[in-house]
Amino acid sequence: MHSTPQSFRAMCATRITSPDDPALDQLCAELAELANELDLTGAWPQRQLQLCAEYGVYEWFLAPQWGGQAWDDEKVVRGYLALSSACLTTTFILTQRTGACRRIASSGNLAAQDFLLPDLVSGKLMATVGISHLTTSRRHLATPVLRAERADGGYLLNGFAPWVTGAAQSAYVIVGATMMEADDPTPEELLIALPSDLPGVSADEPARLVGLGASHTGQLQLQDVFVEDRWVLAGPVENVMSVGSGAGAGGYQTSTLALGLTRSALGFLGQQSTQRTELGTPLDALQEDFDEVSELLFSVVRGQPDCSSEQLRKRANSLALRAAQAALAAAKGTGYITGHPAGRWCREALFFLVWSCPQPVLAANLCELAGIASD
């Protein structure tokens, strides 16, 4: 065990116990205060993640047996909406961290759960995911980018995970790898909780991103890395991402964060419109769209969807892009100066065009941009 979560938690000021808790507003105010500087410096948001630990945010997603509060899906979505409206970068990192936790929790690997989850819940430990090459990245290449071979007592990994947020800051990376079997058209895949200090593992310098640069996302290189069987979470099996749950591609979580960003932009427009009546009509139209897309989101979360998750994502993406640009138009040249949130929101909104976008979502985005109808 890495530490006693209780002793760490003793430092906590106020733990957030529901999305209606005033402590959530308090945390959001602190995150929002730091958001512009985070964008300007691009430094890893250590302070923000520490605040999330102190406010008990990491507890929301996991069961009480690990020290969690096990919020239901609707509460989690409301929490994510509030946080992403305050600081998209911190919330995005949180989604990757939570994806890792959920993959561990839903695996059959009880020893890994016992060893990792209490410290992940308390915030003592950081983990992330490097799985996009099994879903939305490098899928058109003939050779898988991260390959596994059976070795005595474990697996030998070679290649790279193309996208890993917070790779250098994470003690464990949940990585997907493809088994190298000659001429197998549907090779089996593995999901591993990779200790990042194993020999042969190295994080590249983070990529320089258009937005969310402080997420420190980059490639994770693996050269002849031997991983013991005890770190395997799932597989080898075909389509390992369909086993258990966690950070899948194209789910409603991405739409939730797009709506969170929209909410910030609408807040700015609302503030401006108190002195500028001409902003009233566009603000009302965007707000109406926001209310509709929010309703769609919660219908999907409740399992009684009024639309497919692709349609939800398409509308959420479109809304985030339009609301951010409306905020910039209202902020005028002042908003185009680095450091103004409206310019940052525009860059951040572009992220939703590329983050975890399965082909149908990409196709719908392109139709929207081309001004043609999609299904």
Ligand X SMILES: Cc1cc2nc3c(=O)[nH]c(=O)nc-3n(C[C@H](O)[C@H](O)[C@H](O)COP(=O)(O)OP(=O)(O)OC[C@H]3O[C@@H](n4cnc5c(N)ncnc54)[C@H](O)[C@@H]3O)c2cc1C
CB of 209 to ligand X, least distance (A): 5
User: If binding is defined by CB under 6 A, does position 29 make contact with ligand X?
Assistant: no
CB of 164 to ligand X, least distance (A): 5
Please give the span between the terminal C-alpha atoms of the chain, in angstroms, as a whole number: 51
From residue 355 to residue 374, what is the string marking binding to ligand X with x (rule CB under 6 A)?
xx------------------
User: If binding is defined by CB under 6 A, does position 217 make contact with ligand X?
Assistant: yes
Six-digit token pair at 176?
């997907």
What residues are paired with 203 via a beta bridge? 220
User: If binding is defined by CB under 6 A, does position 354 make contact with ligand X?
Assistant: yes
CB of 187 to ligand X, least distance (A): 18
Phi and psi, residue 133, nearest 5°:
-70, -5
Phi-psi region of 188 (alpha: psi -120 to 50; beta: other; left: phi over 0): beta
- Figure out which of the listed residues 48, 85, 132, 253 binds ligand X, where binding follows CB under 6 A: 132
CA 32 → CA 174, 213, 215, 330, distances in Å? 29, 16, 16, 20
From residue 165 to residue 194, what is the string marking binding to ligand X with x (rule CB under 6 A)?
x-----------------------------
CB of 288 to ligand X, least distance (A): 30
CB 193 within 8 A of CB 233: yes
DSSP code per residue over 5-59 = HHHHHTT-S----STT-HHHHHHHHHHHHHHHHHHHH----HHHHHHHHHTTGGG
Containing H/E element for 191? strand 189-195
- Figure out which of the listed residues 5, 130, 235, 250 binds ligand X, where binding follows CB under 6 A: 130
**Residue 137 vs 311, nearer CB to ligand X:** 137
From residue 96 to residue 125, what is the string marking binding to ligand X with x (rule CB under 6 A)?
x-----------------------------
Amino acid in position 195: P
From residue 313 to residue 352, what is the string marking binding to ligand X with x (rule CB under 6 A)?
----------------------------------------
List the Cα angle 225/113/189 in 5-degree steps: 45
Interface residues with ligand X (CB under 6 A) are 96, 128-132, 136-140, 162-165, 209, 212, 215, 217, 354-356
